[in-house]
A and B are shown apart, each in its own frame.
Chain A
């Protein structure tokens, strides 16, 4: 069993990267936190800390995320905007360059309110009603912003390949 102090060092050093990867797979902050917790729980009884590298921890996160995705049904996936393929594939994960390009498009090509709506729906997984309350607009307006956001992004992304 590992010393809790060693685990704490690993935890603090790697938490951000692990949580980020899990959130990218699961599109859900709370679930991502749980995955990271689970990975560290397995360390309690497993591998010695000295052999535990960031790469190893990230691959544990990845495997656990893939398991979670495998267990998610179609409705859950479409609600969280996750690819519907029965066997989730890591190749689906866009590379860092692509991610940066998409975030840049969202930040620069969408009008501010539209961008906020897209973020609240796509990143924070809020429902229309919650977004409407958060921004003090109607649900119809939320819907229109999303529609516009998707159309703009689609045009931009086809332009840029």
Chain B
């Protein structure tokens, strides 16, 4: 594989590389130069993007709705609190689900000693969905559990990210639902079905998954 090939593979499947691998790859001056050119091209091409009047209308409507929701502070605060509580318990459940599968997977092959280790680690991570200290940044990948935390992000943003990861299509039957803001912890190693199910646990969200296509109802 030459340098361009390596970069193409790395940007298509960064999840298969550790941040150190990526740093090492780009420590080569020629590779860094090719990558730099790719980033500049991406910036230039994104600079071509034109917004249509229709898109502006839609975005304004989206803004207006959240803006008016925020003007009613008591209502907003209460519903936000409810969402966060739901999200935290969900995150805990998701954590446990992951642990169980991981545990099973390990128990097929690994020696009992490893199982115990896995178990201990899992107990910790099950408790870790932090309530007092939401220190993780929105949408950041944490090294240990490969989960992405979306903090006060719209469902649209979350679904876009998820769709890109699983290579699925999204269809919006309800545009309002896409604008819901939520706190969601996404386990990137979970299957698409599991992720959709986790999102469906939110009261106001109703997604259906059919033939690798997510429909927002």
Contact = CB atoms under 8 A, between A and B. Distances in A.
A34 interface: yes
A123 to B, nearest CB: 4
A63 to B, nearest CB: 16
B140 A71 contact: yes
B17 A94 contact: no
Which has the most chain A C-beta neighbours within 10 Å: B37, B44, B50? Answer: B44
Interface in A3-28: 4, 7-8, 11-12, 15-16, 19-20, 23-25, 27
Kindly state the interface size class of chain A when it binds its partner: 35 or more
A30 B11 CA distance: 19
B157 A78 contact: no
Given A15-B56, A118-B41, A157-B37, A103 B10 contact: no
B64 interface: yes
A75 B138 CA distance: 15
B4 A27 contact: no
B157 A34 contact: yes
B34 to A, nearest CB: 7
A84 B59 contact: no
Given A71-B140, A82-B39, A118-B45, 15 more contacts: A11-B56, A11-B59, A11-B63, A15-B56, A15-B59, A16-B51, A29-B49, A34-B157, A74-B23, A81-B35, A99-B43, A123-B45, A127-B12, A143-B8, A157-B37
Interface of A: 1, 4, 7-8, 11-12, 15-16, 19-20, 23-25, 27, 29-31, 33-34, 36-37, 40-41, 44, 71-76, 78-84, 92-94, 98-99, 102-103, 106, 118-119, 122-123, 125, 127-130, 143, 146-147, 150-151, 153-154, 157
Closest 4 CB pairs between A and B?
A123-B45, A75-B14, A71-B137, A102-B44
